[in-house]
Each structure stands twice: as C-alpha cells, then as structure tokens.
Chains A and B, each alone.
Chain A
Amino acid sequence: MSSPPVTVRPPAHARTARTPTASSIAYGIVGVVGELLITVGVLLLGFLVWQLWWTDVEGNAAQAEIVRDLGFAPPVVAEEDDGVAEPRRDEPPVIDEPPHATSFATLQVPRWVGEQERPISQGTDRPTVLDVLGIGHYEGTAMPGGVGNFALAGHRVTFGKPFNRIEELQVDDALVVRTADTWYVYKVTEMEVVTPADVRVIAPVPNEPGVEPTERFITLTTCHPMFSARERYIVHGVLDYWAPVSDGTPAELLG
C-alpha cells in the first residue's frame, strides 16, 4: 500500500499574496456573480415567506386590535329571549360617512366558521386602508343600512386576507355588519366574476348604473383567481333586517 499523496495547502491569508492572473480574476468575478445570484434567489424566497405568511400574521393581529379599539359595547343579553335580537324591517338608522381611513363597523360571516371579526374602514386604497386596516368601504357608496349599495373591498390573500373564503359563500348566507349601536344583517343574493374595470358592480343598484335605488344592497369585491389580479370575485346581498345592539345579538351569530 502506498501512502496517499500529501497536498500542502497554503494558509488562507497567503492567497491574497498570489499574483493575480487574468484567469484568476475572471474566475473571481464569476464566483462573486454566482454568489450574488444565489443571494438574490434566497431573498426572493424570503419575500414569498413575508408576503404569503408574515403579512397575514401581522394583519390578523392588527385587525383584531382595531376591532378591540373600536370599543363597541357588548350586546345586551336579556333573560326572556336568550339574547336574540328581534329582527326589525322598518327604516334603519344610518350613520354618516367617516373621514378617510377611519374604522366604523365590523363584519362577521357565520359561514366562515373560525374567521375573526373584521373591521371595516373608510376608503379602498391599499397603503392607508386595505393593507393595514383590513376591509375597505368604497367612498361615496351607501353606508350600512342605507338605500343604495354598501360596497366593500378586501384582500383575498395576504395582509390578513379578510375575504379569503369568499368562494364558500352561498345564496342566503348571512353577512352581519355591526356599527356602534346597530346590527345590519344582509343575505347573499348573487355571486359573479367580472373584470377589474366593471365598476357597475358597485353602482347604487348593482349592475344597473344610473338607476335610482330603492333597496339596501351590500357588495363585496376581491381578487380572482387567488394570487391574480386578472379578475374580481363579487358577492351581492340585500338587507334582510336590522336590530339595535341594545336588543341583543342576531340569531345568525348565536347559531
């Protein structure tokens, strides 16, 4: 058996003392470029982790805190009706539109079991409302309970994704909106997929722009398909009833 050849490696600090040749410089540049490309790849992967996971973690916590900060009083629980609010179908109270980026209501959807109560805030731009506050209210559209179209937008993926499960909604599902003093229970009437330019879906009478409204509609808009901006998923509904918070909680939420 012959002993293996012994290679003597110069110590690391001695490498710099080598006289650089044209080929060693070229190899050095290629090596640095390669390492840079690998680094960019890892950082892009990091962006996906941030966008698809971390913005949800932050968004859910932030939106839960906004709901707490709204300071809505808990609904009154009366002994005789187990805390169920009696549905009222007369003229509901309607609050004025608040300033931009102000949270004024919450949304709860019984169909989305396990989903937290989400705040609704004025405006639909991403930097000041949708990315940080959750659900946005299209400025100039009706307020909760108002005649016309109470139109909302929300992320379906990322930033807490309040409308992530929008495709689970079925006709007659309840959409429960709460302001400080009033419950508004809407029922889903219709779902559709439109292009981003189809503003008619948030017209006072959905899909009939220019027509004077007589009913109290709600419309949710979000992106479709998931992770794409190609189309919009739209859910329309109409007000079923309203109830004062002092009268209890809608039966739909007590289920």
Chain B
Amino acid sequence: MYGWLWRHLPGPAPVRVLLSAVLAAAVLAACFLWVYPAIAPFMPFNETTVGE
C-alpha cells in the first residue's frame, strides 16, 4: 500500500518525502476536524450526569 504510494509519487526522493508528510498531515487534520468528533460520542468514558 505505502510502497505503491511511494512509487506513484512524482519527483526525486526528497520531494516524495515532503509530499508524504503533507498527505499524512492532511489525513490527521481531517481526523481532528471530522472523524474524531464524530466517533467521540460513542466512547464510554465521558458521562458526567446522573439519571441517563
């Protein structure tokens, strides 16, 4: 999977490293903005109220 990605990134090795880092940062940003907030309500350790 990552081997395939590496082979399909353009440019010399330093450019590929940079592109990989940008892609990883984009994935992490998407997780922070949308994915993690969406799954947080299903986590069992945040209940603070009584009666529910």
Interface residues of A (CB under 8 A from B): 12-13, 31-32, 35-36, 43, 46-47, 50-51, 54-55, 124, 126-127, 130-131, 136, 138, 153-159, 163, 194, 196-199, 201-202, 221-223, 227-229, 232, 234
Contact = CB atoms under 8 A, between A and B. Distances in A.
Given A196-B47, A198-B50, A229-B46, A126 B41 contact: yes
A154 B48 contact: yes
Q: Chain A interface mostly helix, strand, loop or mixed?
A: mixed
Nearest to B5: A35
A19 B17 CA distance: 30
A12 B46 contact: no
A50 B32 contact: yes
Contacts of A130: 48-49
B48 A222 contact: yes
Contacts of A157: 45-46
B18 interface: no
B45 A197 contact: no
A31 B41 CA distance: 33
Nearest to A50: B36
Given A36-B1, A50-B32, A223 B48 contact: yes
A221 B48 contact: yes
B40 A196 contact: no
Contacts, number: 77
Interface of B: 1-3, 7, 28, 31-32, 36, 39-41, 43-52
Nearest to A227: B45
B1 A153 contact: no
Contacts of B3: 31
A50 B31 contact: yes
A127 to B, nearest CB: 7
A12 B7 contact: yes
A228 B49 contact: no
A232 B48 contact: yes
A222 B48 CA distance: 4
A126 B36 contact: no
Contact of B49 (A32, A51, A124, A127): A124
A234 B50 CA distance: 10
A124 B50 CA distance: 10
Nearest to B47: A229
A31 B4 CA distance: 11
Contact of A202 (B2, B40, B46, B51): B51
Given A46-B36, A199-B51, A202-B50, 14 more contacts: A12-B7, A31-B1, A35-B2, A47-B36, A50-B32, A51-B43, A126-B41, A126-B46, A157-B46, A163-B48, A196-B47, A202-B51, A222-B48, A229-B46
